[in-house]
């Protein structure tokens, strides 16, 4: 159990709370898409009808999320091990402290990558064929800080694959609603990752690493983060109109946007003491509440 806990800590398993709710939203939008011909059924009846024969799809989506994210995080820790050892903030991580060896982290990455592709294979052929591309994005992100300050956008792109992947798993296609949702995730994740990166701006600059804070400075980085979060809010509003969501979605949307405003308000260029609250607490609440209210809207008005 101790070893399991160490690997869960290595990949920051608790941070799964960010992307997982959006993957589940993508799944439910997909379910409503494939069940739209069942006009005589209520939303909950459509969900029950789908789960009665396709419940394994949902399980494999969850497994894909877990395996893909674990592979990405472990690889990031493996690749950044030398930088992490030099940075006082990250020197306590498992690899620098010798709790998990670099070779073990790399094996963990490979195993989770294989399990991810295997789970994608169990869903459908399209998901399996797309799985190497997804791995290329989420594993490739770990290299981007070495050559571009837009690394935050690549991270956002990686997490945005969760809802669109879940939708494809159910429908084997893509539509405008899921594109809007996934695009919103890019802006959201990129924005809060910039806030998180404020803690390492000086270190990144000293090591020749790229980030928005080290490239633009803290004030402009915060402005850029706010622009990204504003775009996220706009995209989710357009999603509401395009899909035809109702008042339940609106409540979740208001809570979500309020959490984005809150995290932006508590982090200052000269005061980073509340970055972790902005990063973990605000975003965790935002994603969960948005998912709960969106899924409820889908089912209630479905």
Domains and CATH numbers, the chain: 2-11+20-300 (1.10.357.140)
Q: Looking at the predicted structure, is the pLDDT value of residue 53 above 90?
A: no
Instruction: Give dist(CA 149, CA 144) in Å, integer.
Output: 8
C-beta separation of 259 from 283 below 8 A: yes
What integer is the mean pLDDT of 239-250? 97
Report DSSP letters for 138-180, one per residue. HHHHHHHTTT-TTHHHHHHHHHHHHHHHHHHHHHSS--HHHHH
What integer is the mean pLDDT of 211-218? 96
Instruction: Give dist(CA 132, CA 160) in Å, integer.
Output: 16
What integer is the mean pLDDT of 98-113? 96
Residues, the chain: 302
Q: Which residues contact 187 (CB under 8 A, 6 or more apart)?
A: 156, 228, 229, 231, 232, 235
C-beta separation of 240 from 251 below 8 A: no
Q: What is the pLDDT of residue 225?
A: 98
Q: What is the DSSP letter of 198?
A: G
Instruction: Give dist(CA 23, CA 159) in Å, integer.
Output: 9
Q: What is the pLDDT of residues 144-196, one digit of tens each?
A: 999 999 999 999 999 999 999 999 999 999 999 999 999 999 999 999 999 99
pTM (two decimals): 0.95
C-beta separation of 178 from 29 below 8 A: yes
Written as six digits, the tokens of 261 are 């405003």
Q: Which run of H or E residues covers position 29? A: helix 20-34
Q: How confident is the model at residue 251 (pLDDT cuts 50, 70, 90)?
A: very high
Portion of the chain with pLDDT greater than 90, in percent:
81
Q: What is the pLDDT of residues 268-298, one digit of tens each?
A: 999 888 888 777 888 989 999 999 999 999 9
């Amino acid at each position: 159990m101790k070893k399991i806990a160490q690997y869960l800590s290595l990949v920051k398993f608790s941070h799964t709370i960010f992307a997982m709710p959006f993957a589940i939203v993508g799944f439910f939008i997909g379910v409503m898409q494939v069940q739209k011909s069942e006009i005589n059924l209520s939303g909950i009846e459509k969900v029950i009808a789908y789960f009665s024969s396709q419940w394994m799809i949902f399980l494999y989506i969850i497994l894909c999320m877990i395996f893909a994210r674990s592979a990405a995080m472990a690889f990031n820790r493996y690749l950044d091990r030398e930088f992490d050892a030099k940075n006082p903030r990250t020197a306590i991580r498992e690899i620098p402290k010798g709790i998990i060896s670099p070779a073990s982290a790399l094996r963990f990455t490979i195993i989770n990558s294989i399990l991810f592709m295997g789970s994608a294979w169990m869903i459908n052929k399209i998901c399996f064929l797309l799985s190497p591309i997804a791995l290329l994005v989420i594993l490739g992100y770990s290299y981007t800080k070495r050559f571009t300050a837009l690394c935050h956008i690549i991270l956002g792109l990686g997490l945005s694959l969760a809802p669109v992947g879940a939708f494809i798993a159910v429908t084997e296609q893509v539509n405008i609603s899921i594109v809007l949702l996934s695009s919103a995730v890019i802006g959201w994740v990129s924005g809060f990752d910039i806030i998180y990166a404020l803690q390492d701006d000086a270190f990144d600059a000293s090591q020749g690493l790229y980030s928005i804070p080290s490239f633009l400075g803290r004030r402009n980085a915060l402005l850029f983060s706010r622009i990204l979060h504003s775009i996220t809010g706009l995209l989710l509003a357009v999603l509401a109109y395009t899909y035809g969501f109702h008042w339940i979605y609106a409540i979740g949307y208001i809570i979500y946007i309020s959490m984005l405003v809150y995290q932006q308000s508590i982090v200052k260029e000269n005061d980073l003491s509340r970055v972790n609250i902005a990063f973990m607490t605000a975003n965790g609440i935002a994603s969960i509440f948005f998912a709960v209210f969106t899924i409820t809207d889908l089912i209630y008005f479905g």
